[in-house]
Structure 1
Amino acid sequence: MNLKHKIQLFSTVGLLFIVLIINTSIYFLFNRMITNEELDRIAMRTQSIAEAMKPSELAIPAAELLRAYLPSSGMIRVIKEDKRSIVTVTKEPEFAGIAPAYKSAQTTELSKLKGTLIAKSYFPIIWSDGSIAALEVTESLASAQQNMKLLLAVLIAASLVVLIPSFIAGKMLSNVILRPIHSLNATMSEIRRNGVFKKLELTGSANDELVQLGNTFNSMIDILKNNFEKQQQFVSDASHELKTPLTVIESYARMLKRWGMNKPEVLEESVEAIYSESVRMKEMANQLLSLARHDMEQAVELSQADLLQLGEDVVRLIQAVHDRPITLHSEEREVGAFVDEQMMKQLMFILLDNALKYSTSPIELHMGCDDAGAFFSVNDRGIGIPQEDIPHIFDRFYRVDKARSRETGGTGLGLSIAKQIVDAHAGTIDVNSIEGAGTSFMVRIPVKTLR
């Protein structure tokens, strides 16, 4: 059974069930109310007859008096203690066949005669001979029973009539609910069939769960499309970047194969070029793997760390490798932050290595903290970055023509990795650069990540 039929079935059956409960309650409530009213009425009639039959007021024969009070469909009789009827007045013989019963107290009861509901009322009286007798008034409730049957028929008919609008309402409800779902299914099928990203066309001003579902789907499509475009661009850029060193290696390998054995200078040049390009390819491959891990939203293992200590470790390592002076400045004895230590070391290494490549002057690393959080900056006095290129320096494989040439060994991936590390910590990275005067990278880790 599909969802549409389920909605129609459950809405119709559910509403019918509620109507049946309400109508059943109404029927039994009215039945009890009418029955009690009839019993009270017959009890009052019996009491009135009993008062009229007092020996001191009885001027006419008892049978004649009782005939005056006889119901249109019923019986009145006087029953002695030995359960013997001494006076019986009725127009219908079937009532006379009812076995007499003596009741010493005023009471009422219900019974059935040939399927017809009857009410009996008893009231004790003093008979003319001074003995105690019971006055019994029996009356048919056929009229009330007929009214209850009519009410039952009306309630059943009303319950059945409810089925039609409830079925139509269920059908309309299923159409309203399933229309966006059908549209979503059709759009997804079209995306799978044509391989293109397509959004749902949302109409109306409602802001219900179905519209929220459509908005969520459209947001997901935007994310998928953006990621797909980034992936395509990444593959294109990576292929383009790897093509150059592979071409160089192939060319020098061909030279080695043709003249390398006979010309030592060609051998030395080729080996140096192949080694240099291999190193650059290795660096690029490592950075591509790093970017891929960040793109897959690698888990950030946050812990309490001292950025000042991390900075000292990174500076000591870089100075040992490059033999270049790097000065660390801080007015704090400890710069605490809640960060991933390995990522933060990688971030500092990227920024310091970038400064070393494009500056021959000493590099400065400043660290500190304020109310906004922890921060550190890397300053160099190198060739700087043109203002028009600053918005693009965090793009993958982007190089500034005058400052980021392949001669430095850069791949154009380092700053992209740095930006992703900062984003993973919900921080910011700002660039301030003057061409020919130097560049400063400022990184801030917000206070909400501090412990």
Structure 2
Amino acid sequence: MNIKNRITLFSTVWLLIILLVTNSGIYLLFQKNLHDNALKGTETRMESLTEAVKTSTETKMNMTQLLRAYLPGDSMIRIITGDNRVAATSSRITDDDSVQEIKPTYRPNQYSEVKTLNGMVYTVSQHPVIWTDGDVVSLQLIEKESSIPNTLQILRIVLIIATLLILIPSYMGGRFLSRLILVPISNLTKTMEENQRRGTYKRITINKKSSDELNKMARTFNHMMDLLENNYKKQEQFVSDASHELRTPLTVIESYAKMLKRWGSSRPEILEEAVEAIHSESIRMKELTQQMLILARDESQVDLQLEQSDLVEMAKNAAKNMNKAYDRDIQVHSNLVEIHVECDSLKIKQVLIILLDNAIKYSSAAINVELTKQGNSVRFSVTDYGIGITKENLDKVYDRFFRVDQARSRDTGGAGLGLSIAKQIVSAHQGKLYLESEEGKGTTVTLEIPVKQS
């Protein structure tokens, strides 16, 4: 059973249950009211009859004529003695044997009840009186309430018709409501099937005036399509750039391998040059492959080995090593002697090396490194005074394989993956990476990570 039929069936059955309970309550309450009113009328007439019998006993009137005179229509009066015997009776109930099923029972006190026999309603009221012979008897009045079954029958018909008149529009409304609810879901399903079949990223048309849950679902789907399309485009660009980057070292290796094959054994200088070139390009290709594998994982897959580390000491050691390797002036400043944070020291050191390496590549002046601890975060800034970055390229520096200076890319080295890797590591530490730059004046890259004391 599909959801539309389930919604219709559930709403209709639930309304039917509510109507049945409500109608049953109305019917029983109305029935009780009719019985109470009928019994009250019988008791009122019984009191009048009792007073008349009392008066007639005192005046020696003819009791049979008196009972006949006070006998209402469709009723019966019986005088019941103490041994449950009928001493006298008078009846205007005709063609009804059901009343004979009401057994004569002597009762020494006042009593009244409603009896239903063979679908007919009777009201019974009894009062004790003194009979003509001086004995105490029970005066019984039985009235046939013909109007009550007829009224209840009309009420049942009315309630049944009302129930049907409510259920039919309710069923149609349930069908309309289920269709209204499921149309966006159906459109979503068709769009997903079409995207799967055609390999497209089609969106759902959204009613901008609506803000319900279905509209929110459509917006979420469209946002997911945007993310998938962007990721697919990035993947395509990544594969294209990776193949382009790997093509150069592979071409160099292939060319020198052919030279070795042709002249390597006879010309030592070619042998040495080819081996050196192949070795250099192999190392570069290995590093590029490792960087690409790192970027193939998202932040949630980065395995962090957290430990308490001193960022000041880490920065000084990194600056010292880079100074020795490149003979560059790198100054480290900190507002504290020690700044301890919980982090993966090896990965944070990798980020520092990436930032310092970029500063060295694109500047020739001194490099300033500044560490500050403010509140619950630590900031690590690397400032160079080199070529800087144009405004239109500021948003591209984190893109994979992007280089600020394409003309100098081969001279400076690198594949344009450093900042992408750095941003991934920083994000895994729940931190942020900021970049400020002015063309021709220099660049400042700031790493900010939260302090997590153990």
TM over 0.5: yes
Q: What amino acid is aligned across from residue 199 of structure 1 in structure 2?
A: R
The equivalent residue for 1:120 is 124
Instruction: Assess, with a 3 A threshold, how the Cα gap between structure 1 residues 388 and 182 changes in structure 2: closer, same or farther.
Output: closer
TM-score, with normalisation over the residues of structure 2? 0.90
Q: What amino acid is aligned across from residue 81 of structure 1 in structure 2?
A: G
Instruction: Assess, with a 3 A threshold, how the Cα gap between structure 1 residues 362 and 50 changes in structure 2: closer, same or farther.
Output: same
Is this contact kept in 1: 2:388–2:437, CA < 8 A? no
Instruction: Assess, with a 3 A threshold, how the Cα gap between structure 1 residues 320 and 52 changes in structure 2: closer, same or farther.
Output: farther
Task: Give unmatched runs, 5+ long, in structure 2.
Answer: none
Deviations 1:276-307 (A, max 9, x none): 11111111111111111236753667666543
Instruction: Assess, with a 3 A threshold, how the Cα gap between structure 1 residues 155 and 374 changes in structure 2: closer, same or farther.
Output: same
The equivalent residue for 2:231 is 227
The equivalent residue for 1:11 is 11
Q: Once superposed, what is the RMSD of the aligned Cα atoms?
A: 2.7
The equivalent residue for 1:377 is 381
Is this contact kept in 2: 1:422–1:429, CA < 8 A? no
Task: Give unmatched runs, 5+ long, in structure 1.
Answer: none
Is this contact kept in 2: 1:363–1:380, CA < 8 A? yes
Alignment of 1:140-159 (within 5 A): 140-159=144-163
Alignment of 1:30-41 (within 5 A): 30-41=30-41
The equivalent residue for 1:427 is 432
Is this contact kept in 1: 2:397–2:419, CA < 8 A? yes
Instruction: Assess, with a 3 A threshold, how the Cα gap between structure 1 residues 301 and 89 changes in structure 2: closer, same or farther.
Output: farther
The equivalent residue for 1:366 is 370
User: What is the aligned-residue identity percentage?
Assistant: 45
Question: Are 2:90 and 1:86 equivalent residues in the alignment?
Answer: no
Deviations 1:348-402 (A, max 9, x none): 1211222233445554321112247321112335454455544432221112336
TM-score, with normalisation over the residues of structure 1? 0.91
Bigger mean CA deviation after superposition, 300-309 or 176-185: 300-309
Q: What amino acid is aligned across from residue 432 of structure 1 in structure 2?
A: S
The equivalent residue for 1:292 is 296
Bigger mean CA deviation after superposition, 156-165 or 227-236: 156-165
Q: CA deviation at 1:418?
A: 1.9
Is this contact kept in 1: 2:299–2:427, CA < 8 A? no
Instruction: Assess, with a 3 A threshold, how the Cα gap between structure 1 residues 388 and 227 changes in structure 2: closer, same or farther.
Output: closer
SS of the residue aligned with 2:54? coil
- Please give the alpha-carbon distance, in whole angstroms, between the structure 2 residues aligned to 1:241 and 1:186: 40
Q: What amino acid is aligned across from residue 433 of structure 2 in structure 1?
A: T
Q: What amino acid is aligned across from residue 92 of structure 1 in structure 2?
A: I
SS of the residue aligned with 2:90? strand
Instruction: Assess, with a 3 A threshold, how the Cα gap between structure 1 residues 248 and 150 changes in structure 2: closer, same or farther.
Output: same
Bigger mean CA deviation after superposition, 122-131 or 50-59: 50-59
Is this contact kept in 2: 1:107–1:122, CA < 8 A? yes
SS of the residue aligned with 1:223? helix
Instruction: Assess, with a 3 A threshold, how the Cα gap between structure 1 residues 343 and 90 changes in structure 2: closer, same or farther.
Output: same
Alignment of 1:3-402 (within 5 A): 3-55=3-55, 58=59, 60-92=61-93, 94=97, 95=99, 98-203=102-207, 205-294=209-298, 298=302, 305-315=309-319, 318=322, 326-337=330-341, 339-359=343-363, 361-371=365-375, 373-385=377-389, 389-401=393-405
